Structure 1
């Protein structure tokens, strides 16, 4: 039997959850499964539908009492389309799905799978993500979070499936095309021949941009001529934080040593021309995707030693681990790398193929 799989998430804009959803959907289609995604619209919808997945545009991520009106629509959709598996990837969609499933007779009810993408606040609202017949944790860190905070959950229900990168796209031999390099240096001429230290992260306090600025400041004060690149979207709600960062840069007198790129679709190319990539999340992240992408290109990474990034570096590049929130130690490690760059070994175990195989094996396991 080839099951019909419905994935539900808030929207399909760029992000790790959204990218993983599209990757699974594309693989389902390739394997002749019926693939459906329900979410609000977003920039990834054209890519999703072009590969053969059906998209249902519903605002299932809105945290509002009026979202209750969506429950009958979801119930009707599940019934009419005879969905076999519902894979929920966020809390609000999970609650709407929970109430929709309750309306379906137990013998006809689709199987529920959930992915815990982060260490949510611990409360009854978050516990809905632990209600699936199978629970996917995207790292060992997230599995420990589940077991520590919800001890009544059966550990056997939890499957650790780390995110992965496509080895055909992220590999040591990758080089940007000449036209990209030409366009890049036309846009950022001041970056030519610079030692680039890159922080790829959307602008938000916990991603560590202020620590990054302190690190670049200290390195330049030591006579180490580096340039800091902050790559990430600047949401209008984060304008105040952005201006705080700009003020800090001015105060530290390093305007000529920091560049903001805003959101970029060419992150792989930017990572590949970087000398070092940093991961400075102030609270542990569920998975170190940025670190993994850089290391998969052969670019050294310095990362705070906690959360999912810790796991990736332990497996692929332990030399790059540094004490969380300690910018002094991060500076010392970067200085060491600047003077003698360590080799990144070509041994990535976090592949997209592994993630796809393990996830779809969970779907298929209900029908073996």
Structure 2
């Protein structure tokens, strides 16, 4: 097979990571892998793993992007892929218009992946208008059924995103050098019960909830310390300043540490005693929660979206009814007083995700 994936850019993020993972799986299985994007720092890895990158400015949410329809049509006709796999709304629209100028007999099969709970409108509807629509969790399947009833149920295929269990091995321990440097940089973390809130600094991630939890528990449990692992975009600098001032006003500056954006997230998740998922909006999947559980670190989170699906299968005691702060506190107390074990994770593997996606490609191509 020859598969062409389309996405805005290749810099960072879950969509980009998933694109590279499927590209690598295609090459490993002896297929041809093409990726169209505006480029980015992950292109080098993509090409090193055997895929071809085709650079096209399909990343801007503006009318100027319509100029890319003809060049995209030319690329499709030149490379003649069996499958076009669109992973974002602008590339999906451009592909839609590009295919209009190609005779039906020459058109490749079209597959989309709904990665997010997009705003519900005509612009987002394009993601549900492919031959097969991949949903990254049951929550996304429900979102499509609810908001886009025109999309036939038989066209929706749930394929969970996955992680490589070898990259997040059960009971993994950070190296002595890493621990030494971390405790040198953040001496306040040593010999503490660490609760970790991973993710970008935005209002959606639940930092205010974290502050409330620490405020409620720190007197009874002085060993408790919260670590926020994630950076603030320049646009969010004012919000970061706001929450840091709130922490200081409550006298909690010695109980909450911000370590910024990190590339060593595995080490932080493994160092933590508990990882929290406190987002005020449902997440489509919840990759970080899965990574933590794979390492053997307990996760406590709100019962919604993809995180709830992961927890219900892997660590149901970590599920808390949405916004039930009292129950969240009780669960944290239990974990502080009695260390909990997480069983080795067998589900949600990268191998399963790749296998199911390639099998879907094969089924679609064989329908011809």
Q: Deviations over 1:80-109 (max 9, x none)?
A: 111221111111111111111111111111
Equivalent pair of 1:141/1:308 in contact (CA under 8 Å): yes
Given that residues 139 and 284 in structure 2 are in contact (C-alpha distance below 8 angstroms), is that contact kept between their aligned partners in structure 1? yes
State the distance in 1 between where 2:174 and 2:244 align. Answer: 30
- Find the partner of 2:126 among 115, 121, 128: 128
TM-score by length of 1: 0.96
Deviations 1:34-90 (A, max 9, x none): 111122232322221211112223231211111111111111111111122111111
Q: CA deviation at 1:224?
A: 4.2
Greater mean alpha carbon deviation, residues 38-47 or residues 336-345: 38-47
Which of residues 35, 38, 41 in structure 1 aligns to 2:36?
38
Alpha-carbon distance in structure 1 between the residues aligned to 2:64 and 2:193 = 52
- For the 8 Å contact 2:195–2:224, the answer to whether it is kept is yes
Find out whether 1:19 has 2:7 as its counterpart.
no
Partners of 1:154 and 1:48 lie apart in 2 by: 34
Match of 1:183 in 2: 181
Moved more, 273-282 or 243-252: 243-252
Deviates more, 1:323-332 or 1:243-252: 323-332
Runs of 4+ in 1 over 6 A off after TM superposition: none
The alpha-carbon deviation at position 177 of structure 1 amounts to 2.5
Match in the other structure for 1:264:
262
Q: Distance in 1 between matches of 2:84 and 2:90?
A: 14
- For residues 57 and 323 of structure 2, the distance between their equivalents in structure 1, rounded to whole angstroms, comes to 37
| Superimposed CA distance per residue, residues 291-340 of structure 1 (whole angstroms, 9 cap, x where no aligned partner) | 11100011000011101000000000000011222333212210111111
Equivalent in the alignment of 1:343: 341
The residue correspondences of 1:348-367 to structure 2 (distance < 5 A) are: 348-367=346-365
My pick for the range that moved more, 155-164 or 344-353, is 344-353
Distance 1:133 1:89 in 2: 14
Matching residue of 1:229: 227
Contact 1:300 1:342 in 2 (8 A): yes
Q: For residue 144 of structure 2, what is the aligned residue in structure 1?
A: 146
TM-score (norm 2): 0.96
Q: Distance in 2 between matches of 1:292 and 1:216?
A: 24
Q: Which segment drifts farther, 19-28 or 217-226?
A: 217-226
Gaps of 5+ in 1: none
Any conservation in 2 of the 1:215–1:328 contact (CA below 8 Å)? no
Structure 2 unaligned runs (5+)? none
* Contact 2:293/2:345 (8 A) holds in 1: no
User: In 1, distance between residues paired with 2:249 and 2:38?
Assistant: 42
Query: Post-superposition shift, 1:275?
Result: 0.4
